[in-house]
Structure 1
Amino acid sequence: MQARARPAGAVPLRRDRAGRHRLRAARRHRRRGGNRCPGRAPGRPVRHRGAENAAKPAAADALAVLAEEAGLTLVQLALAFVLEHPAVTSAIIGPRTFEQLESQLGADKVRLSRDVLDRIDEIVPPGVDLSARDAGYTPAVLTDASLRRRTA
């Protein structure tokens, strides 16, 4: 029996009794004993919990308070912060609803004061990873504060 030629990246699909396509690999995996992450229900996403990740919710709460004090939503604060960086030419947004889109569109007109930018840097210092899993390359712009501000 000769194997069928498939284009690169093609995934072999198979129809089940109800006529739905199923990945053959997923079926083989279930037959062999199932769950790739023991102790976790099948299909449940991995959540990173614990002391190592506790700094992220605390930082998010502090940033939400700062956004409220500045009269902005947290999304507007985040987008304005990204657009304030001199190396950023555009910010990619990903709204799923029209309401989310409307709330994000005004962020390009928001200008953050130096005080707000400095408070953001106090809450989440540049170049500091809140979790060891987030560590990676550290560009020079994170170590030199003058590179993080647009010239007036």
Structure 2
Amino acid sequence: MLTDTPRPVGTIRPAVPTDLPMVAELCAAHAAFERAEPVSADLAARLEATLFTANPRAWCFVADHEGELVGYVTCSLEFSTWQATDYLHLDCLFVTEAHREEGWGRRLLDAVTRTAEERDVTQVQWQTPDWNTDAIRFYSRAGAQASAKIRFSLPVQ
């Protein structure tokens, strides 16, 4: 686990259904930051159907700073054909601008690595935009190794 950054006041905890409106707001801020399309208006309800079932498809952790959610991370179990094993895909990691450089990102990443360990998964994979030099520096300091790829998205319908 990554522990060399001072711990901010607050906690990293699994999201609960009542967090979802704020998580959706954080997702909207994250999408805007990454210059992506806006999130759907029903995102909170759609996340609830994914995160809070008997067998969730994904997990979400939030950075709770004295009752205010200042960040989130989501991850899901995926399969690598080349390695013939499962891995944890970190889909989103976001901390609000006012709370960056306080150690929240490191603690959110720790929550993902703990989730991987709990599921006997030995690797976490993710991507970040190539222009996001702060994220690239953060992930590199955390010991992550980059691989050059271009991400494609193919709309269906």
* TM-score (norm: length of structure 1): 0.27
Larger radius of gyration: 1
Normalized per residue, which structure has more strand?
2
